[in-house]
Chain A
Amino acid sequence: MPKHDTPLLDELEKGPWPSFVTDLKRQAEKKPECFDILGQLELSYRDKVTHWKHGGIVGVFGYGGGIVGRYSDVPTQFPGVAHFHTVRLNQPSSMFYSSAKLRDICNLWEKYGSGMTNMHGSTGDLVLLGTTTPNLEPLFYDLTHDLNQDLGGSGSNLRTPSCCLGRARCEWGCYDTQNLCHSLTMHYQDEIHRPAFPYKFKMKFSGCPNDCVAAIARSDFAVIGTWRDDIRIDQAAVKGYLSGEFIPNAGAHSDKDWGKFDIKAEVLDLCPTGCMWMEGDTLKIDNSECTRCMHCLNVMPRALRPGLQQGATICVGAKAPILDGAQFATMTVPFIEVNPDTEFAEIIEVIEKIWDWWMEVGKNRERVGETIMRIGLPTFLKVMEITPTPQHVKEPRSNPYVFWQEDEVEGGWDRDVIAYRKRNAQ
């Protein structure tokens, strides 16, 4: 496959940021089909339309997802991308790799594919970009037999779960996000590989409310670490911040002169609930009013730590705009223990209650967040066997269109207008 003229793309080799165009050109020396990737992309830059055909259904036997089929609509011009299927590999939790593993994957991908990848897809998968239908089964055979590596999810199923790096190297991890992510991924292999749901379903796991994997915005089932006792304060370290020995926010703002650290302006006055104060140079927190927003811990990581009674909050139903509008996840379980000793049975119970309900009442291509919107949070909490609490809402409803269950109302709904007329003549 020859090199194509790419004057528009060549512009993108200028500037300091790593250029994908330069990388593709380098890869094309080994894998000439990369010239056709560049060629077709240049054509799209000129035409301002995509040159991929609609859809594509390919896969491997036994699985109903994992591979996204794709075909060029200009295959004679760019035969190297006539077939250009994408293979999703389930990444290790938090994406820690050994060079040996990556080398194995690269060697395999140079054998069966374009050599081009996406590290990683937004959902978390290691994405192998571009191969042909006949290569899929041999690639899958080598992946599973030699690399002990499985595909990720696609379609109306449980997509590949992902997590923040949590306790691997973060002092705020309120539970072992990697263990939970890995364990649930293994537990739900069937749901990942064989679509059985009304629509896609995603899980993400963050160790604390900073939510580094954006679980609250990008997963139907978000597990976000928190604690329920007191923030641990090291008063000596607080003095260290006051004296300037420690830099606020671990030096995150050192590129600009923000003046001397001012605990009142930068912490106390910014606490969303105003539950912090100083007595001399001793820091006080009224933990019963703290919403665990993370701000004070983020500013003074050496002085403040999450409490010791750690667990997580479960939020359900985040989704992108289609069809009914974008949603963040709704707080459903305020606090749950994340317990590896029970193999996370408590969390699995929550997941399966959601699935049992949604698989039954969810409409075709309806995300669980839309099902909750359509049927209502009260019904959702009822099927979840969760008692509604004030924490379930940001504010109470302002309209009075309140439904009552018949058994909640004395006398029920069966009323006799003749009896009524006896009391109120016409």
Chain B
Amino acid sequence: MPTIEHNGSSFTVDEDGFLTGNMDAWNETWVDYVKTVEGITEMTDEHHKVIEILRDYYKKNGIAPMVRILSKTTGFPLKRIYELFPSGPGKGACKMAGLPKPTGCV
């Protein structure tokens, strides 16, 4: 597994740059790192809200929420989520929130 060094922290990730292992490796430095690779110029409260909701949902349910549940709980339509996270809720937001890589027939 490759490692990523950022601002003095190091993270173990898979080929796609998702955090491996449990959710505890996640911290603000990780968020700052993902920002640089996922086309996000500035972190806003809206970004943090999405990340927080994703992490809460994952801790409670053990899965990432469906897109329309994410839209409902955040109040952001999908269009807004793509404005915040250009790679979309999966590759962008879930990666930044430290959730495991989405699977299935992607």
A130 CB within 8 Å of chain B:
no
* Cβ contact within 8 Å between A195 and B90: yes
Q: Hey, what's the 0/1 contact readout for A40-65 against B, CB within 8 Å counting as 1?
A: 00000000000001111111011111
Q: Other CB < 8 Å A-B pairs besides A57-B101, A62-B86, A154-B106, 7 of them? A: A57-B91, A58-B16, A59-B87, A61-B39, A69-B106, A155-B90, A155-B106
* Cβ contact within 8 Å between A196 and B90: no
A54 CA to B79 CA, complexed, in Å: 29
Give the chain A neighbours of B18 by CB distance below 8 A. 57
* Cβ contact within 8 Å between A57 and B106: yes
Q: A56-B16, A195-B67 are in contact. Are A64 and B104 (CB under 8 A)?
A: no
Most buried by A among B39, B79, B104: B104
Provide a sorted-by-A list of 23 A–B residue pairs whose CB atoms are within 8 angstroms: A55-B106, A56-B15, A56-B106, A57-B106, A61-B39, A61-B86, A64-B82, A64-B88, A64-B89, A71-B15, A154-B106, A155-B90, A155-B105, A155-B106, A156-B104, A190-B79, A194-B82, A195-B90, A196-B67, A198-B66, A200-B105, A359-B68, A360-B68
Q: Total A-B pairs in contact (CB under 8 Å)?
A: 66
**A150, chain B: closest CB distance, angstroms:** 16
A195 CA to B95 CA, complexed, in Å: 16
Give the chain A neighbours of B21 by CB distance below 8 A. none
Which of B16, B63, B88, B103 lies in contact with A195, CB distance below 8 A?
A: B88
A68 CB within 8 Å of chain B:
yes
**B73, chain A: closest CB distance, angstroms:** 15
Give the chain A neighbours of B63 by CB distance below 8 A. 364
Give the chain A neighbours of B86 by CB distance below 8 A. 61-62
A197 CA to B63 CA, complexed, in Å: 16
A26 CB within 8 Å of chain B:
no
* Cβ contact within 8 Å between A365 and B104: yes
B78 CB within 8 Å of chain A:
yes
A30 CA to B66 CA, complexed, in Å: 44
A309 CA to B68 CA, complexed, in Å: 41
* Cβ contact within 8 Å between A65 and B106: yes
Instruction: Name the residue of chain B whose CB is nearest to the CB of A58.
Output: B16
**B66, chain A: closest CB distance, angstroms:** 5
Give the chain B neighbours of A56 by CB distance below 8 A. 15-16, 106
B75 CB within 8 Å of chain A:
no
**A192, chain B: closest CB distance, angstroms:** 13
Instruction: Name the residue of chain B whose CB is nearest to the CB of A137.
Output: B39
Instruction: Name the residue of chain A whose CB is nearest to the CB of B65.
Output: A364
A293 CA to B73 CA, complexed, in Å: 49
| Nearest 7 Cβ contacts at the A-B interface | A64-B88, A61-B86, A57-B16, A61-B39, A155-B106, A196-B78, A71-B15
**A358, chain B: closest CB distance, angstroms:** 11
Give the chain B neighbours of A364 by CB distance below 8 A. 63, 66
Q: A55-B101, A59-B91 are in contact. Are A196 and B15 (CB under 8 A)?
A: no
Q: Hey, what's the 0/1 contact readout for A224-263 against B, CB within 8 Å counting as 1?
A: 0000000000000000000000000000000000000000
A397 CA to B91 CA, complexed, in Å: 46
In B23-68, which residues have CB < 8 Å from any A CB?
39, 63, 66-68
Q: Hey, what's the 0/1 contact readout for B74-106 against A, CB within 8 Å counting as 1?
A: 000011001000111111000100000111111
A61 CA to B18 CA, complexed, in Å: 16
A359 CA to B70 CA, complexed, in Å: 13
A364 CA to B66 CA, complexed, in Å: 7
Instruction: Name the residue of chain B whose CB is nearest to the CB of A63.
Output: B88
Q: Hey, what's the 0/1 contact readout for A254-284 against B, CB within 8 Å counting as 1?
A: 0000000000000000000000000000000
